[in-house]
Amino acid sequence: MKLQDAVYNWLTITVVAHARPDDAAAQETERFFADLLREDHAVEQIAYTKEDDVYTVAFTVNNESRTFRFPAELVETMLDQINREPEKYVNYE
């Protein structure tokens, strides 16, 4: 998986996990992608911000600062789907 794809996947599930803190699957998936970024891509100190309609993800790889920008509409697609059909995304303990 390319770094940009991995960061996008991490960001998408992180947005879901923050919006649904009791969603065990979202929390587990967020950890999976955070681990993947660390282990497969040497990503450290990752964080995101949202301004207007854009998410900016800043992180470090091998002591080099990097950023990616993603449209909010794209990032929030999964959360929007969950919110439209919550009965399909029940939290199972």
* Structural domain harbouring 44: 3-85
* Residue-level length of the chain: 93
- Does 15 reside within a domain? yes
pLDDT digits (tens, 9 = 90+) for 36-80: 999 999 999 999 999 999 999 999 999 999 999 999 999 999 999
Say which residue, 30 or 87, is predicted with more confidence.
Answer: 30
- Does 49 reside within a domain? yes
- Does 91 reside within a domain? no
Confidence of residue 92 (pLDDT cuts 50, 70, 90): low
- Does 50 reside within a domain? yes
Query: How much is the pLDDT for 1?
Result: 85
- Does 90 reside within a domain? no
Query: How much is the pLDDT for 87?
Result: 86
pTM here is 0.92
- Does 44 reside within a domain? yes
Query: How much is the pLDDT for 90?
Result: 81
The alpha helices in 1-93, defined as continuous H runs, are: 3-19, 24-41, 72-75, 77-84
Backbone phi, then psi, for 6, in 5-degree steps?
-65, -40
Angle of CA points 33, 38, 44, to nearest 5°: 115
- Does 93 reside within a domain? no
- Does 79 reside within a domain? yes
Instruction: Tally the domains of the chain.
Output: 1
Query: How much is the pLDDT for 3?
Result: 96
In 3-state terms, what secondary structure has residue 64?
A: strand
| C-alpha count within 13 angstroms, C-beta hemisphere, residue 80 | 6
